[in-house]
Structure 1
Amino acid sequence: MTGTDEVPRPFTPSPPRPESPRNTGAAVVGLLIVAALTTTGMAMAGGPRKIDGQALPASGVYTSEGAKAPAGNAKPAPKEVRELETNPLLAEGVTLGAVTCRLPAISREPAKLETYYKTFVSCLAEAWKPALDQANEPALTATVQVTLPETSACGKAPSENEAVAYYCGGDTTIYAPTQWMLGDAGLERSRHLATMAHEYGHHIQRSSGILSAAAEKMSSPDEDSPADKELVRRIELQANCFGALALAAASGRGSISKSLANAALDDYGRADDSDTHGSRRNQLKWAKAGFSGKTTSACNTWAAPAADVK
C-alpha cells in the first residue's frame, strides 16, 4: 500500500468465552478475521471499498493471474478458485492427511510460545496439503507473529478488548499476541490449539479462494446488513469446522492425544451466541461436523440452510 491508501478493516469479532478470566461486561474477547486487499482493491472479507492510491497485494500473496498454463499434458498450476458452495476444496472425497504433531512444551515465555505455535502451524500445513493438492489449489505459507504490530497489510491492529488472535489474509499471518493468548487461555493447551486451528482455517479459506468469493458477495459498507452478517457467520463457522477437521487429523498421535483433541473440540462450544459467529450450538455443531466427518465436504457451510448458520 502507498502512504495515502485507506485500508479497509472489517473486523468480525467472535463472541466472548464465558470462562475466560479476561471477559468483562464491556470487553469483546474472541477471534478476528481481518480483511486483506486484492489487486482490485476488494476487501477479502468485506465489500468494495474506495481506495485513495494504489492497492497492492502484500509480499508473498498468491495471485492467480500470475499462473501460467503448463505445456503438454502436465497438471495445471494450482490456483485459487473464487467459488463458495462449489469450490473444489469442498468436493466429495477430499481429505486431509493424518499427521503426527510433535510439539514442544507450552510456556509463558514469548519465544517458547511462538515456537509452540509455529511448530503446530507447520503440522497443520502438512495435514492440509493433501486436500489442497486434491483440489489443485495453492498451499500458501502462513506465518505466526506473537507481537502486535501497529499496522499490517490489513491496516491498524485491533485492540486487546477486541481480539485474542486474528488472521490477516494480506500478509497470510496469524497474529497471536502472547499477552492476549495467555490472558485468555493460560497454559491450557486445548484452548491454544483450538484458537490456532481456527485461525489456520481462515488461512485455508484464503488459499482456496473462498474468502475472495465471499468478499465479492458482500453488499454493505461495514458488513452489517443481515445478508452480510450471514456471510460472515458462514465464514466463521466453516473456520471452526476446518479447525476441528485438522485436529481430528492429528488426534491420537504425537503430542496431541485423543483426550487433548477432544478438549480442543469442546472449546468451540464455550462461546456465547453471536450475530457474526453464530449461536453457541451452531459453533460447536460445525466443529463436531468436521471432527467426525473427516472430509472437507462436511464443512460446506455455503450449502447449508440459513437455520444451520444462525
Structure 2
Amino acid sequence: MSGPAMQGPARQGPPPGPPQGPPPQNPWLGQYPPQRFPPQHQKKSPGAIIGIALGAVTVLVLGIVAIVALNRPSQGANATGYQNPPAPAPTSAFELPPNNGSSSTASSAPTESSEPSSTGPQKILKLADHPILQDPNAGLQNRVCDLPTWQSTQSRAEAFFTAASKCLDAAWGPFLQAYDLPFTPPALHFPTGPSFETACGTIQVGIATAAYYCEDNLYVPFAGLQTDQYGNNPGVYLALFAHEYGHHVQEVAGIMDAAWQKIYAAGQNSPEGLEMSRRKELQAQCFSGMFLGAHVDQGGTITRDMYNKAWNDQETRGDNTSHSHDHGTNAHYAYWWRQGAKANRIADCNTFAAPSSLVS
C-alpha cells in the first residue's frame, strides 16, 4: 500500500508549465431533505367520515405514485450535497488530452459487493462503480489552507505535514461522510531511523520510500524526502503527501480493500495484479491533484507557484524512473494528477473504468 517514491533526478530543462487560468471552483451546496411534521388530529363529525374515507383512498393512490417517483434514479441531483456546476477546463498548449476511453470497460473495472450492513457507516467494496465516483459534478470544496513556511529540517517538515493533514481532513472528511462512509483521520508518523515497522511489514527508508501508507497510518520519514535534491519546494512535498492521503481516502471508502482483493486473487506480480496496482496508485495521484486544485489561490498559503511546481514535478515520477511496473509510467503519473487538478471532479479520477492504455 505504499505510495510513490521521490524518484530519480529532476527533469533536465524546463518542463511544460501548467495552465495559468483560475483554479477550479467547487462551492459546497449543502442539500437536506425537507422536514416533515405529523398532522394534528382533530375530532371529526359522523357526516365527514365518508368524505374522509374517499380522501384517504385518493391520498393512498397519490402516495404510491410519489413513492415510485422518489425511488427513480435522479437525473442530476447529487444526494451528497456536493452538486455544483462544472468548472471550465483550463486552456493551455500544455494541457494533456482528455480521456477518450469508454467508461464502461467491464473487463478492466472489476467490482465487489458492499460489506454486510450493520449499524453505522460502512465501507463499500467497489471499484469503478463506487458511489463516490458516479456524480460528474462532485468534487472537493474550495477552502483556505494555511501551512507553516517550509524549511528542510526534521522539525519544520513535521510541522508542515501536520498542518497539511488537518487541511486534508477538512477537505476529504465531509466529502466521505456525505456518502455515509466511516471517515476517521489517519494517524501520522515521522520515522527517524533507517527503517520503521508497520502493519504491512518493515519498511526501509531511502529514495524508494519518501512516504508510506498502511492501514490508517501515514508515515513520512524525513530522510526519504530527498530535500538535498528538491530543496525548499513545498508544492512538491505537499503533492507527495496528498497522494499518500489519497490512499487513506481509498481505504475509508472501501476502494483499497476491493483493489487488494483483485491483486491477491490475480497475484501481485501477474500482469493483472500489476495493472490493478497501477489503477490504485494513479487514482491516488488524481486525488492529490484534486486537493491542490481545490486549495490553490483561495487566500491561504497554497500558492500558484506551489501548484505550478507540483504540476511540473509529476513528470519526473513513475515507473520509468523507478524501473518498476506497479505505479504507472511517468506520463500517466502526470496525466492522472492533472486530471484531478484541472477541474476538481472526482469522477475524473475513475482509473478503474479507464482503458488499459491509460494505466500502463
Give SS of 1:156's match: strand
Indicate yes or no: 2:198 matched with 1:157.
Answer: no
Provide the residue aligned with 2:133 in structure 1.
90
Q: Secondary structure at the match of 1:162?
A: coil
CA RMSD of superposed structures (Å) = 2.3
In structure 2, what is the Cα distance between the partners aligned to 1:208 and 1:124? 15
CA deviations over 1:114-154 (Å, ceiling 9, x no partner): 11101011101111123213322122211222215631222
Find the counterpart in structure 2 of residue 35 from structure 1: none
- Match of residue 132 from structure 1: 176
Number of aligned residue pairs: 248
Distance in 2 between residues matched to 1:157 and 1:269, nearest whole Å: 25
Q: Which blocks of at least 5 consecutive residues in structure 2 are unaligned?
A: 12-114
Distance 1:121 1:245 in 2: 15
2:309 maps to 263
> Would you say the 8 A contact 2:4–2:240 is kept in 1?
no
Deviation at 1:251, TM superposition (A): 0.7
Q: Quick one: distance in 2 between partners of 1:159 and 1:102?
A: 29
Please say if 1:297 is aligned against 2:347: yes
For the Cα contact (< 8 Å) 2:5–2:211, is it kept in 1? no
1:134/1:152 Cα in 2 relative to 1: closer, same or farther (>3 Å)? same
Instruction: Measure, in 2, the Cα distance between the counterparts of 1:223 and 1:154.
Output: 14
Using the size of structure 1 for normalisation, the TM-score is 0.74
Range 150-159 or range 99-108, more displaced: 150-159
Q: How does 1:102-141 map to 2 (within 5 A)?
A: 102-141=146-185
User: What CA deviation, in whole Å up to 9, does each residue of 1:188-241 have, x standing for no partner?
Assistant: 112111110111111111111001001111246861111000001001110100
Alignment partner of 1:288 out of 309, 334, 338: 338
- For the pair shown, the structure with the greater C-alpha radius of gyration is 2
Does the Cα contact within 8 Å between 2:211 and 2:220 map onto a contact in 1?
yes
The correspondence of residues 161-240 of structure 1 with structure 2, limited to 5 A, is 161-169=207-215, 172-181=216-225, 182-183=227-228, 185-219=230-264, 223-240=268-285
By how many angstroms is 1:183 displaced? 4.3
1:138-149 map, 5 Å: 138-148=182-192
Contact residue 15 and residue 277 of structure 1 kept, 8 A: no
Secondary structure of the equivalent of 2:204? coil
Q: What amino acid sits opposite 1:257 in the alignment? A: T
Stretches of structure 1 that go unaligned for 5 or more consecutive residues are 1-9, 21-63, 69-76
Give yes or no for contact 1:95–1:130 (8 Å, CA) kept in 2: no
